[in-house]
Amino acid sequence: MTFAQALVLAALQGVSELFPISSLGHTILVPSVLQWHNIDRADPTFLAFVVVLHLGTALALVVYYRREWWRIVSALVRSIVRGRLTCHRDEAVGWRLVVGTIPVGIIGFIAQEPVRRLFGSALAAAGFLAINGIVMFAGEYLRRRQYARARTSHTIEHMTYAQSAAVGVAQAFALLPGISRSGASIVGGLLCDLDHEEAAHYSFLLATPVIGAAALLEIPRLFAPGAHVAAMEALAGALVAGVAAYLSVAFLTRYFKTNDLRPFGWYCLLFGTACLVLAWKGLIT
């Protein structure tokens, strides 16, 4: 890939990782639509490059939530040293993040190779992106029905550990290119009685350890024999992705105070369907 292509993909990843529109899906579909035939998306080093872009996103999230992460990590350490749990908010949030991270770690390890094979298919990415839009509409519909019955919303620290794990499982569906990690986890949070602001907050906090750890594990692939991605491209891409992600989370934290997922659902459904038709006709691959 060229340096310019690397920067475009980095900016795209930084935005689409936190917007519920699937960064992996767009990383596959946009080069296909733009006819970037010089990029081999099935090459393991390309996936390594994309995951390293996530490292920039994870660092941006750490910077944005740095004060909260300091309180959470401090509370987790204190609870481990103390050997028992308390009702402290930061401690409760921290352990729910730990529980929510476990499912995607296990599923990601097991499904790693099948996911790599899907990464080369524009048809699969387009189909999953359209499904992602439907999932967001379904989540909004079910949440409205749920709220009409109970008229209550919870905060993150009041989630049960089972609910935290369920959101983690929902997040794991984002291993499929086209399914949004933030979209799936926000929908999972909504169905656990969080409001949109709290569901987005939990999703963004949950993203940090998951995508950070995945990026660190993939970095050695950039230096493997036969790798085709330059370290400088990856470094510059991580920086651009980080800046884009920081701006995105700053926007979305305000957006979800008063808005919902439906505009993103329409976008995913329309763009995914259009790309699905193009892929079906063989115009993109």
The per-residue pLDDT string of the chain (285 residues; one tens digit each, 9 = 90 and over) reads: 888 999 999 999 999 999 999 998 999 999 999 999 888 877 777 777 887 888 899 999 999 999 999 999 999 999 999 988 888 999 999 999 999 999 988 888 787 777 777 777 899 999 999 999 999 999 999 999 988 887 777 899 999 999 999 999 999 998 899 999 999 999 999 999 999 999 999 999 999 988 877 777 777 766 666 665 667 888 899 999 999 999 999 999 999 999 999 999 999 999 999 999 999 988 898
Write down the pLDDT at residue 73: 95
Q: Cα separation of 66 and 91, whole Å?
A: 16
Q: Cα separation of 33 and 61, whole Å?
A: 30
Q: Cα separation of 150 and 190, whole Å?
A: 13
Write down the pLDDT at residue 21: 96
Write down the pLDDT at residue 180: 95
Write down the pLDDT at residue 228: 59
145 CB burial (10 A radius; 0-12, 13-18, 19+): exposed
Write down the pLDDT at residue 222: 66
Question: What count of other Cβ atoms lies within 10 Å of the Cβ of residue 71?
Answer: 17
Q: Are 126 and 169 in contact (CB under 8 A)?
A: no
Reported as type and span, the H/E element at residue 203 is: helix 196-218
Q: Cα separation of 37 and 224, whole Å?
A: 23
89-110 and 66-82 are packed helices; what angle lies between their axes, rounded to 10 degrees? 90
- Residue 236, C-beta contacts closer than 8 angstroms, at least 6 positions apart: 3, 6, 7, 10
Against a cut of 0.75, is the pTM above it?
yes
